């Protein structure tokens, strides 16, 4: 039988070489193609046991080995559809397109939900890819409607989109660093409609996040609470990190990806400076393991005996590659870190063979005591995205 872990291991060794020994650009592209071919094959084989079901959208693997299923309401509901779209775009395999269409359709009703800031994750990761690939006008309409819904949570006094509505006895207007990721859909909606208000709100949210969430060392607080009366910051907090002052690993990954993307969209130099700063913070941190897969928090209390978070590693790789795409002058350092991260994720240790997951060893929330050291769907989504970005980079350099 085809031993995909063996291929992954061999590819890992090749990647590891590619991070240290110069390989020609054609070889580099071939390495990433081979990994993507392997993941495409895996995703297609998983389809047999993943019939499209609006009540069984895959989120994570439970500790007893069963699938944690969710519905479109969950913040993770767009990732499986998005992964299928990306692999369809790469491979042209019709089975992946059919599955992507079916899983995407379940999320349509979320375009009207005003109770969440996660519309970018839910709608842009599913319908966004669908629209980019098919140019289906119905998909575009969902994206624009979702953006109109999302900006209802924007408060001009604060300058941000409100994240959560729970814990209102503690937080009055909480904004989490993760929320940067929902801005990509707003930037896209300005281009799709010509309406600059989406852009202006996204830009304001990113500027306000830069001023309030970001520490002098470029790391980020998880939660900042604002006073909606005055617009001023009232609390610094965390929800998924080890402590208020610690650096939750996925939060830093959102910080890196979010500001790299905000720079690409706005060309504001302060976003570039922040993205470059947090990239260095993450990759030069004394607690970053040699294989570049971070512990769930850079200040977790029992390092090195703490779970890693593969999802943070995959998001980091995407953020680095967005930075590298921006400017060849500083690309080489970011490519080196991204290659080392992708080499690690290709190792048997991190590859999952349990449908529908590609990777294992992610962390949802240690303080919440859920999804600890398990496969989680958003790690897979960002892994595929990073590989596609890396391949495109190699192929462009090869021309």
Residue numbers of the site for ligand GLY (CB under 6 A)? Answer: 75, 178, 240, 250
CA–CA separation, 167 and 185 (whole Å)? 27
Cα–Cα distance between 11 and 391 in angstroms, integer?
14
Our CB check for ligand GLY shows the closer of 116 and 347 to be: 116
Q: Which residues pair with 359 in a beta bridge?
A: 351
Which residue's entry shows tokens 């905000």? 262
Min separation Cβ 72 and ligand GLY, Å: 16
Catalytic pick among 178, 291, 297, 339: 178
CA atoms of 184 and 129, how far apart (whole Å): 12
The DSSP bridge partners found for residue 214 are 220
- Name the residue among 349, 366, 386, 367 with its Cα closest to residue 253: 386
Q: Write down the least CB distance from residue 157 to ligand GLY, Å.
A: 24
CB 288 within 8 A of CB 232: no
Contact (CB, 8 A) for 376 and 60? yes
Q: Is 178 a catalytic residue?
A: yes
Residue 12 vs 364, nearer CB to ligand GLY: 364
Residues in the chain: 399
| Cα gap 83→382, rounded to integer Å | 8
Question: Quick check: is 380 catalytic?
Answer: no
User: Shortest distance, CB of residue 148 to ligand GLY, whole angstroms?
Assistant: 22
Report the residue number, 26 or 368, with the smaller CB distance to ligand GLY.
Answer: 368
Closest CB to ligand GLY among residues 18, 126: 126
Q: One of 74, 118, 373, 380 is an active-site residue; which one? A: 118
- Name the minimum Å distance from CB 274 to ligand GLY: 19
Task: In angstroms, give the least distance from the CB of 48 to ligand GLY.
Answer: 30
Nearer to ligand GLY, 46 or 121 (CB): 121
Residue position matching structure tokens 């002058």 = 329
Which has the closest alpha carbon to 271: 164, 180, 395? 180
Nearest residue (beta carbon) to ligand GLY: 178
Question: What residues are annotated to the active site?
Answer: 118, 178
């Amino acid at each position: 039988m085809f031993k995909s872990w063996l291929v992954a291991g061999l590819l890992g060794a090749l990647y590891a070489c590619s991070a240290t020994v110069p390989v020609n650009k054609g070889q580099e592209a071939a390495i990433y193609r081979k990994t993507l071919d392997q993941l495409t094959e895996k995703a297609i084989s998983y389809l047999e046991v993943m019939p499209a079901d609006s009540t069984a959208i895959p989120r994570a693997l439970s500790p007893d080995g069963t699938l944690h299923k969710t519905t479109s309401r969950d913040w993770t509901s767009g990732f499986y559809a998005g992964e299928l779209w990306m692999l369809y775009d790469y491979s042209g395999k019709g089975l992946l397109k059919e599955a992507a269409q079916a899983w995407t359709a379940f999320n349509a009703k979320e375009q009207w939900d005003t109770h969440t800031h996660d519309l970018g994750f839910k709608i842009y990761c599913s319908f966004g890819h669908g629209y980019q690939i098919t140019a289906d006008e119905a998909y575009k309409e969902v994206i624009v409607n979702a953006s109109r819904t999302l900006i209802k949570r924007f408060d001009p006094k604060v300058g941000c989109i409100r994240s959560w509505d729970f814990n209102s006895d503690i937080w009055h207007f909480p904004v989490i660093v993760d929320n940067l990721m929902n801005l990509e859909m707003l930037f896209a909606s300005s281009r799709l409609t010509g309406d600059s208000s989406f852009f202006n709100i996204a830009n304001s949210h990113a500027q306000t996040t830069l001023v309030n969430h970001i520490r002098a060392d470029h790391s980020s607080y998880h939660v900042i609470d604002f006073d909606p009366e005055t617009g001023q910051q009232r609390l610094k907090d965390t929800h998924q990190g080890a402590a208020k002052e610690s650096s939750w690993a996925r939060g830093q990954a959102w910080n890196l990806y979010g500001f790299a993307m905000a720079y690409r969209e706005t060309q504001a130099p302060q976003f570039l400076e922040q993205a470059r700063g947090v990239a260095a913070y993450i990759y030069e941190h004394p607690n970053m393991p040699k294989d570049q897969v971070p512990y769930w928090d850079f200040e977790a209390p029992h390092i090195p005996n703490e779970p890693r978070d593969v999802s943070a590693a995959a998001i980091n790789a995407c953020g680095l590659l967005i930075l590298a795409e921006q400017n060849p002058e500083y690309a080489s350092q970011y490519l080196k870190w991204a290659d080392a991260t992708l080499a690690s994720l290709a190792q048997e240790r991190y590859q999952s063979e349990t449908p529908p997951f590609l990777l294992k060893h992610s962390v949802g929330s240690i303080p919440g005591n859920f999804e600890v050291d398990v496969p989680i769907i958003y790690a897979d989504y960002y892994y595929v995205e990073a590989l596609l970005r890396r391949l495109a980079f190699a192929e462009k350099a090869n021309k």
